[in-house]
Amino acid sequence: MSLEAFLLVAAALFCVGLFGALSQQSIVMLMMGLELMINGVVVAGAGFWLRVAPNADGQVLLLVAITVMALEMAMGFAVVTALFRARDVDMTDDAGDLKG
C-alpha cells in the first residue's frame, strides 16, 4: 500500500471525525468524533513509519498507542455513563453547567 493511500484514508478519517465532533451535541457522539480524529492521526503515523522504517518496531508502538486510546475512551464512556445516571445529563450544553 502506498503512502498516498495511507494519507488519503487518514485525511478522510480525520475530516469525518472533525465534522462529527463539531456538529454533534451529544457527549457520546462528540467522543466518537474525537476517536475518529485520533485514528486518522494513527493511520498517518503508521503510513509514515512504514515508509521510513518498514520493520515491526513502529507497528508495535502504534498497537500500544491504539490500546491506550481504547482504554482512554472506555474510561471516558464510564464517566459519561456515571454523569448520565447521577444527573441525567447527556448533552454538552447541560454538562457545561456542572463546572464550578
For the chain, the structural domain boundaries read 3-88
CB atoms within 10 A of CB 13: 20
Confidence (pTM):
0.77
Q: Along the 100 residues of the chain, how does pLDDT read in single tens digits?
A: 788 999 999 999 999 999 999 998 888 888 889 889 998 998 898 888 888 877 777 777 778 888 888 888 888 888 888 888 887 776 766 666 566 5
Cell of 6: 495511507
Fold of 3-88: Helix Hairpins (1.10.287)
pLDDT of residue 95: 63
pLDDT of residue 29: 87
Q: How far apart are CA 3 and CA 73, in angstroms?
A: 28
- Report the sign of the C-alpha dihedral through residues 74, 80, 82, 85, in that order: negative
23 vs 16: CA distance, rounded Å: 11
Question: 33 and 21 in contact (C-beta within 8 Å)?
Answer: yes
